[in-house]
Structure 1
Amino acid sequence: MNILKYVPILDTLRNYDKKDFRFDFIAALTVAVVALPQTMAYAMIAGVHPAYGLYSGIVLTILASSFGSSNQLATGPTNAISLLIAAYMASFLGSDNFFGNLFLLTFLVGAIQFAMGTLRLGSLVNYVSHAVIVGFTAGAGIIIAMGQLNNLLGIKLPKGHLSSIDKVMACFQNLDKMNYVAFGVGIFTIAVILICKKINKNLPGALLGVVFSVILVMTLGLEQYGIKVVGKIPQAIPPLSMPNFSLSAAADLGAGALVIAIIGLVEAVSISKAIASKTLQKIDPNQEFIGQGIANMGGAFFSSIAGSGSFTRSAITFQNGGRTRLSGVLVGFIILLVLIFFAPYARYIPNASLAGVIMVVAYSMIDKKAVAKVLKTNRNDAVVLLVTMFTTILAPELEQAIYAGVALSLILYLKDSGVANVKTLAPVRANDGRFVEQAINGQNPSISIFQLEGNLYFGSSADLERKLSEGYSDSKVFMIRFKGISVIDITALEVIEAFINRAQGDDKRVILSGVTPKILKMLDKMHIVEHIGKDNIFMEDDEVFATSGKALDEASSFVRNVGYSSHERTAQA
């Protein structure tokens, strides 16, 4: 049973429902069709031959799906990771051991990720809130669509790396060069997908759209009209490779590996959580860290570049009905089979058809109900969502949106938690003899109650001091009630101690009520118990309002006997 915990694919196979295979297989076929050109393109972005992208799409996908936590996460080369690989490998270009160092980088990325998972650091992703995930998902959907606009329109873009916005601007500037045949193929693919969804949501619309497009290209010879196709795909299995395990190379690549590892984990877990919010699957971040680590470490020995979770391919898995992690494993094997047996046919896949598939996926990634719910429910969450979404669209790198969303979430949380919840009340005797508390409105009661709620710590101590000072009056007794406070630190207690000193200096009495054993222990260690007197401290009582009633009775008795000073009453006790 222990091995099932650490190798999730075994548990999946052990409890596999045969009814799920059709959905997993169709999703895997569709993802594989998209992954073929994508992985090749990302390898070129990383500065290596497209074949290495295909090798990564096989090995990383199989290993990550086998050992990771998410059922739908599709791992392999990604845009952001490939750009980072190119940057960190630039100094090794032309060297005799370039590929040895490239595979060492892949191994180091995996080793760091595996170590973080083993050390149970997955809880760090809990700081990525739901608003960040919704905003990131919506923004990612938009930029994915923007990035495919040129392929859908059949417009050739200038060489070099272009942002999604640059691609859109280039498309509008070159609309006169639009290829109407390519656009027609893309629209045809979208139409097939939508019609299939309307007939039966279980029909593999994306796969059928691509297959029909390939048939059109082959039978009508559409390449003569300038339509771009995937092109030649190498017929080979991932060859064995050996990373350059040298201390000098590891030292040179260590910093880059750390950056790639962290960004890869943020991408993978963010994507997993975004999809899990719809599938209701419980994601184990630590296991996902381990899965990504094993995938990259293993890939280093099979000619793979470093990779992470792909938003596009993961969304396609989800949208096309992938139910278990077996769908990811099947993707890897399907790509392998295509490399060996169907490479001559796969070359006819039109880029415009793939763009149509991705456009539909991108639109579906924007969870309109979730966005509306966040925007209407909480102002802070709405701000976080919008900032994350627009940062995803506008930032040079995708992961910066996650950082911005998390940072803003923490800032807004600290801003709110820096407010001390203090209510100033006055007791009024009801007809039945019970005390009823009312807010103080310009009154000067004999007894003032400061009701402290929530948690008090150094961040809210300044606000606590201000509110206690503003509530200070000519009352003869101040009662400080601790209502449901489970956390209080020394800074907040020092503020309360200063208030007690001020009141006692003016010959006023201070009573503490609702004190828990934990708070009493802290009061004792700070010598506040000795200073205020045990008879002025009323412990938390199981009976509702019992401790407050006792404290108010004591305060009322003191007011009736106002001739006694608080020091004299303490001495008598």
Structure 2
Amino acid sequence: MNILKFVPILDTLKSYDKKDFKFDLVAALTVAVVALPQTMAYAMIAGVHPAYGLYAGIVLTIVASSFGSSHQLATGPTNAISLLIAAYMVPFAGQDNFFANLFLLTFLVGAIQFLMGVLRLGSLVNYVSHAVIVGFTAGAGIIIAMGQLNNLMGIKLPKGHLSSIDKVIICLQNIDKLNYVAFGLGIFTIAVIVICKKINKNLPGALLGVIFSVVLVMTLNLEKYGVKIVGQIPQAIPPLSQPNFSPKAIADLSAGALVIAIIGLVEAVSISKAIAAKTLQKIDPNQEFIGQGLANMVGGFFSCIAGSGSFTRSAITYQNGGRTRLAGVLVGVIMLLVLIFFAPYAKYIPNASLAGVIMVVAYSMIDKKALVKVLKTNRNDAAVLLVTMLTTIFAPELEQAIYAGVALSLILYLKDSGVAGVKTLAPVRVSDGRFVEQTINGENPSISIFQLEGNLYFGSASDLEKKLSDNYSDAKVFLIRFKGISVIDITALEVIESFINRAQSDGKRVMLSGVSPKIYRMLEKMHIIDHVGSNNVFMEEDEVFATSGKVLDEASSFVRNIGYSTQERTVRA
């Protein structure tokens, strides 16, 4: 086996062009500047100390970039994944083994992703539709903003688990307790981010907003005004951790780990493909699964929360010239150096300032263009998007939104695919002797054609039976054309067999045309060939309409002979 295939970073280093290093380094520095406040903010969304977000930003980024498929995908804590982590860790809040279970969740997410990659299940992400992701992301953005309102306003919440809606209600009820200093810092941070974006999209507005806030806290001693700060961050490399591998903990967290794993993979692969469309890189979803899986598995032993591909940081990598996966490795290294040498200053970061960063992130999660496109383009997708978004906001368990969205997508798909493609036509001979076919409009032709199209399976068998029955007529010949069939199963064939039996019992002739060798074998095994007679079966041919011409000539001849026989009986009578 070629090890370079399974460890992509080795292949990158083997063929690395030194000219690419300056582009990778500039991209890495830019991403690291954005990642520092983001990863801490996402850790807060997950309900843990910001340090665990920094650890994940270091470890997950390095491992995923080394083993993943995409050159530009930036892995680490993300908003949607952090929100899911918070939801699944609620039952363990306040317990002594909380962090051991948190790191177990990270490991289980990685193990599931890695296993899916090894089993080459990359195509499974296609079953989570774009409408589900857009709806879930928009709903998650709203929930995240609602959940940070108390930090932005500096309002203390009662202990215990509270939903985002509960937090908003409590904040509104205690609006008189608003901490104007904390609120001012949060609004100031938001303003810095927005202004930086207006000036230059590449300016690290989030980092600048946080730095300015830290300076204000330190110089003006804002803690005495009730401004809460992040507190001490360990000045060290990500510490080793021991996940709780007890059978009970594994059983309790497996369902949540599966949901996080799938959402994480959908995020990672969709981001990778979007960037690859511009860079023309060929993405291997299974290798990406392996890279994401290894990152989270390793992260479980280095005090990391689970993560995935980041929309924001991946886009920054691409926009700032990142050319190889080494850029992602460098991001992790730069963040590690910052953690070692500048951690003492990070403790002064005000929670309100991070809440401001999160508010901007939450707003950016709502893809307005995608929402409008989905809502205007397809009614089914619009329904899926709205149901997913509303369920994300109001359902007691966050994964229910994904289940609801996927289930509705499948139901609507099955509803549409349950319609059998059947056209009822009649042949008309034109002046040059050729046959043309036209839709039957109230006429009662002597030859009736049933043109079957698309997929005919058990789900559409009922509709097929209804259409064949509704269009049963006094025609002398029924021609069933299989030319447009791509898939057919035994249930649909039984419906066709029942129709043939009815027609033959009424003394009508049934002919089959456009029959492929595969369908012929199925018809033969069902004994349908014996019922209609092999002389009434016309195989598909390479020449377009060749089969139809032959069978229509035969059917017309049969109808004329019936007419002559009827006239002879009348004369004799």
* TM-score, length of structure 1 as denominator length: 0.87
How far apart, in 2, do the equivalents of 1:138 and 1:52 lie?
A: 25
Distance in 2, Cα, partners of 1:433 & 1:337: 85
| Rounded Cα–Cα distance in structure 2 between residues aligned with 1:199 and 1:55 | 31
Aligned mates of 1:223, 1:88 — CA distance in 2: 31
Unaligned runs of 5+ in 2: 566-573
Partner of 2:231: 231
Report 1:407-556 matches (<5 A): 407-556=407-556
Contact residue 32 and residue 334 of structure 1 kept, 8 A: no
Distance in 2 (CA, whole Å) between partners of 1:316 and 1:353 is 20
* Pairwise CA distance, 1:56: 4.5
What do the CA deviations read for 1:273-310 (whole angstroms, capped 9, x no partner)? 453465355654423332233233323443x2552337
Contact 2:57 2:335 in 1 (8 A): yes
Cα pair distance change 1:142/1:20, threshold 3 Å: farther
Shift of 1:72: 3.6
8 Å contact from structure 1 (residues 84, 260) kept in 2: yes
Q: Percent identity?
A: 71
Q: Distance between the aligned counterparts of 1:446 and 1:38, measured in 2?
A: 72
- Residue 28 of structure 1: aligned partner: 32
**How far does residue 513 in structure 1 lie from its aligned partner after superposition?**
1.2
CA deviations over 1:75-126 (Å, ceiling 9, x no partner): 3483423543563698xx558xx97777666555543432222111232211
Aligned positions of 1:9-24 closer than 5 A: 9-11=9-11, 14=16, 16=20, 18-24=22-28
In 1, Cα distance between the equivalents of 2:68 and 2:251?
A: 25
Q: Which amino acid aligns with 1:485?
A: I
- Further displaced range: 222-231 or 454-463: 222-231
1:145 Cα offset (Å): 2.1
- Partners in 2 of 1:20 and 1:138 — Cα distance? 32
SS at structure 1 position matched to 2:448: strand
Distance of 1:327 and 1:152 partners within structure 2: 34
Question: Residue 263 of structure 2: which of 267, 278, 294 is its match?
Answer: 267
For residues 186 and 50 of structure 1, what CA distance do their matches in structure 2 show?
Answer: 17
**Larger displacement relative to structure 2 (29-38 or 6-15):** 6-15
Residue 338 of structure 1 contacts residue 346 of structure 1 at CA under 8 Å; is this kept in 2?
Answer: no
Task: Note if contact 1:264-1:309 (Cα within 8 Å) is conserved in structure 2.
Answer: no
Could you tell which deviates more after superposition, 507-516 or 480-489?
480-489
Query: Residue in 1 aligned with 2:127?
Result: 127
Q: CA deviation at 1:157?
A: 2.4
Q: Take 1:156 and 1:257, find their aligned partners in 2: how far apart are those partners?
A: 30
Give the whole-Å Cα distance in 1 for the aligned partners of 2:199 and 2:470. Answer: 68
Equivalent residue for 1:395? Answer: 395
CA distance in 2 between partners of 1:103 and 1:195 (Å): 38
Distance in structure 2 (CA, Å) of the matches to 1:551 and 1:146: 68
| Structure 1 residue 380, shift from structure 2 partner | 0.9
Offset from partner CA, 1:409-442 (integer Å, 9 cap, x none): 1111111111101111112222332222222222
Report the CA distance between 1:40 and its aligned residue.
6.4
Q: State how far apart, in whole Å, the 1-side matches of 2:502 and 2:39 are.
A: 71
SS in 1 for 2:449: strand
Root-mean-square deviation (CA, aligned residues, Å) is: 3.0
Seen in structure 2, the aligned counterparts of structure 1 residues 17 and 507 have a Cα distance that, compared at 3 Å, is farther
Q: Deviations over 1:302-347 (max 9, x none)?
A: 3x2552337xx65355468575655654454444334432222111
Partners of 1:34 and 1:192 in 2: CA distance:
15
Q: Is the 8 A contact 1:133 1:274 kept in 2?
A: no
In the TM superposition, 1:98-247 aligns within 5 A as 107-241=107-241
Output the CA distance in 2 between the equivalents of 1:291 and 1:277: 15
CA distance in 2, matches of 1:326, 1:134: 30
CA distance 1:227–1:109, change in 2 (3 Å): same
Deviation for aligned residue 1:367 = 2.1
Q: Output the amino acid matched with 2:306.
A: G
Cα distance 1:458–1:41, how it changes in 2: closer, same or farther (>3 A)?
Answer: closer
* Contact residue 46 and residue 84 of structure 2 kept, 8 A: no
Aligned-pair CA distance for 1:169: 2.0
Other structure's SS at 1:423 match: strand
**Counterparts of 1:370 and 1:32 in 2: how far apart (Å)?**
28
Cα distance in 2, alignment partners of residues 190 and 150 from structure 1: 16
Question: Hey, what's the Cα distance between the residues in 2 that align with 1:561 and 1:544?
Answer: 28
Q: Secondary structure at the match of 2:558?
A: helix
Structure 2 residue 308 is matched with structure 1 residue 309: yes
Q: 1:351 to 1:241 in 2, by over 3 A?
A: closer
Q: Distance in 2 between matches of 1:104 and 1:480?
A: 60
Tell me the TM-score normalized by structure 2. 0.87
Q: Structure 1 pair 353/159, CA: closer, same or farther in 2 (3 Å)? A: same
Tell me the SS of whatever aligns to 2:43: helix
Counterpart amino acid of residue 307 in structure 1 = A
After superposition, the Cα gap between the structure-2 partners of 1:319 and 1:162, relative to the gap in structure 1 and judged at 3 Å, is farther
The CA deviation string for residues 364-393 of structure 1, in whole angstroms up to 9 with x for no partner, is 222222222222221111111111222222
Compared with structure 1, are the counterparts of its residues 277 and 180 closer, same or farther at alpha carbon in structure 2 (3 Å cutoff)?
farther
Partner of 1:74: 75
Per the TM alignment, residue 463 of structure 1 is displaced from its structure 2 partner at its CA by 0.8
- Aligned-partner Cα distance in 2 for 1:510–1:41: 67
Q: Counterparts of 1:289-438 in structure 2 under 5 Å?
A: 289-302=289-302, 304=303, 307-309=306-308, 314-315=311-312, 318=315, 323=322, 326=326, 328-438=328-438
Measured after TM superposition, the shift of residue 405 of structure 1 is 1.3
Q: Which moved more, 1:275-284 or 1:401-410?
A: 275-284
**Residues paired across the two proteins, number:** 550
How much has 1:549 moved relative to structure 2?
1.7
Cα deviation for residue 228 of structure 1 reads 2.1
Taking structure 1 as reference, are residues 295 and 488 closer, same or farther at Cα in structure 2, changes over 3 Å only? same
Mean alpha-carbon deviation: is it higher for 191-200 or for 105-114?
Answer: 105-114
Specify the SS of the correspondent of 1:445. Answer: coil
Residue 278 to residue 116, structure 1, CA distance change in 2 (3 Å): closer
Greater mean alpha carbon deviation, residues 166-175 or residues 316-325: 316-325
SS of match in other structure, 1:487: strand
* Aligned residue type for 1:36: M
Structure 1 residues 402 and 288 mapped into 2: Cα distance closer, same or farther (>3 Å)?
farther
Task: Report matched runs for 1:47-62 at 5 Å.
Answer: 55-62=55-62
Shift of 1:554: 1.0
